[in-house]
Amino acid sequence: MAEKKKVEAITGRDEDFAKWYTDIVKKAELIEYTSVKGCMVIRPYGYAIWENIQRILDGMFKATGHENVCMPMFIPESLLQKEKDHVEGFAPEVAWVTMGGNEVLEDRLCVRPTSETLFCEHYANIIHSYRDLPKLYNQWVSVVRWEKTTRPFLRSREFLWQEGHTVHATAEEAIAETEKMLDIYADFCEKSLCIPVVKGKKTESDKFAGAVSTYCIEALMHDGKALQAGTSHFFGDGFAKAFDITYTDKENRKVYPFQTSWGVTTRLIGAIIMTHGDDNGLVLPPAVAPVQVVIIPVAQHKEGVLERCRELADTLKARFRVKLDESENSAGWKFAEYEMKGVPLRIELGPRDIENGQCVACLRCNGEKSVLPLEGIEDAVAEKLAEAERLMLAAATENRDRRTYACRSLDEITHCLAEHGDGFIKAMWCGDEACEDAVKEKTGVCSRCIPFEQEQIDTKCVCCGKEAKAMVYWGKAY
């Protein structure tokens, strides 16, 4: 009986994007659902992607002087209440522990939705002098937010993330930290994930609860919806005052320090899927792919084929993450399997290839085949993977640019979306929150960010016609 290719079960990407996404996370064995609604098992292949994301980012953090710590997962309600704006912002999403064993807790415990309050309590205990600053901390943990609508990786009730929390002597140092970490996120997304992003500042109504200002990177998915891929927050000295974090400066004065927070989550895996995936499954960027190169023996029953494939695998393993599939499944089944898995480069090696001292290489991102000499194969593979990165970033950038529209009125936004579908809308804004709300109510798009790179689309606000203060990216978002 012929083997069934897994790709047959994938809904077409342009037929039903949401169903296509769900099919991929299941068929590519990234997740499995659990008995707790909104919580998922991240399976080994999905977790391996996260491990590679974590490894690269962790190296970037440590290269800039940050250290990893680990805070508790429980926050006493009395501690959470110390920062009013912060607790109000998270109240609807908080999960509470009210009993410990058989006893009712006098001070119920919040399962951390984020860890600002825990870090502040700790900093109040360990920061005393200007010599103790800066504190550059990060942690890799899971958090819980009781989302009403969930989707694997994009919105789940428990998810993995990293959260950086730093303390500085001056506002200038803290702002510089906030901007530096945003740049690290942007560089990572573009260089390691092949996802172009827009860097900017959130509006006042959309900033993080308790922050003075929030910066973000916004990406556009294949279907034209926006995805917030990372955030970096400047807290000023508000949290320090709420938690009585003080230190003695060089003039022997008691002063408050300034804080930041920044984070990305497993949502980045969803971004990879929705930016690069196609109707055959995942298309993974080489930097984070669990397997970068898969070797498929052709006519493996013939003498010498498997032996030569094993030699090739051993050669490549010194520089790349390699898998040799020696299973008895047909070559066609294996092609479909690793297309589904998104392996960036497939190498085919059969008797004729061995005789000619070559192999056939196929890029996952565009299906293009080429013949590579076995001599010097490591450098040739490196060039192919670099080519995949260039092609993937170029395709994602083309999709974003093609689906970014400049509009000068609410009617123009509505007509643009009706004609072209979802995408980024660039339009001017007066800075009034009422206009921000009106744009969303009348067109369906919300503010994504005020980009650092400003353009003057018009001189008037897209909503009220008053003098504009900034150009804003708007869009429908996940």
pLDDT score of 413:
98
Within 10 Å of residue 63's Cβ, how many Cβ atoms? 9
Same domain, 315 and 364: yes
pLDDT score of 165:
98
Residue 31 lies in a domain: yes
Low-confidence ranges of the chain (pLDDT < 50): 1-7
pLDDT score of 2:
40
Give the model confidence (pLDDT) of 48-69 as tens digits.
999 999 999 999 999 999 999 9
| Token code pair at residue 189 | 């997304």
Same domain, 360 and 461: no
Burial class, 367, CB count within 10 angstroms (exposed 0-12 / middle 13-18 / buried 19+): exposed
pLDDT score of 8:
56
Residue 393 lies in a domain: no
Same domain, 162 and 267: yes
pLDDT score of 131:
98
Give the model confidence (pLDDT) of 93-103 as tens digits.
899 999 999 99
Q: How far apart are CA 237 and CA 233, in angstroms?
A: 12
Same domain, 308 and 260: no
Residue 307 lies in a domain: yes
Q: How far apart are CA 377 and CA 359, in angstroms?
A: 9
Q: Which of 388, 419, 448 is where one domain is finished?
A: 388
pTM: 0.95
Burial class, 294, CB count within 10 angstroms (exposed 0-12 / middle 13-18 / buried 19+): buried
pLDDT score of 85:
74
Q: How far apart are CA 117 and CA 103, in angstroms?
A: 25
Same domain, 272 and 314: no
Q: Which of 244, 276, 308 is where one domain is finished?
A: 276
pLDDT score of 147:
87
Q: Are 468 and 461 in contact (CB under 8 A)?
A: yes
Residue 167 lies in a domain: yes
Q: What is the 3-state secondary structure (H, E, C) of 426-463?
A: EEEECCCHHHHHHHHHHHCCEEEEEECCCCCCCCECCC
Paired strand residues for 29: none
**Range of 443's domain?**
404-475
Where residue 413 sits, what CATH number does that domain have? 3.30.110.30
Where residue 371 sits, what CATH number does that domain have? 3.40.50.800
Phi-psi region of 169 (alpha: psi -120 to 50; beta: other; left: phi over 0): alpha
Where residue 45 sits, what CATH number does that domain have? 3.30.930.10
Same domain, 223 and 345: no
Residue 285 lies in a domain: no
Same domain, 194 and 331: no
Same domain, 258 and 310: no
Same domain, 241 and 323: no
Q: Which of 353, 388, 423 is where one domain is finished?
A: 388
Same domain, 232 and 170: yes
Q: How far apart are CA 134 and CA 90, in angstroms?
A: 27
| Token code pair at residue 84 | 């009013």
Residue 134 lies in a domain: yes
| Token code pair at residue 153 | 């990786």
Give the pairing type, strands 322-324 and 293-297. Answer: parallel
pLDDT score of 175:
98
Same domain, 245 and 357: no
Closest CA to 342 of 266, 400, 287, 397: 287
Domain count along the chain: 3
Same domain, 335 and 418: no
Residue 439 lies in a domain: yes
Residue 240 lies in a domain: yes
- The residue assigned the tokens 């196929």 is 362
Sign of torsion over alpha carbons 235, 239, 241, 246:
negative
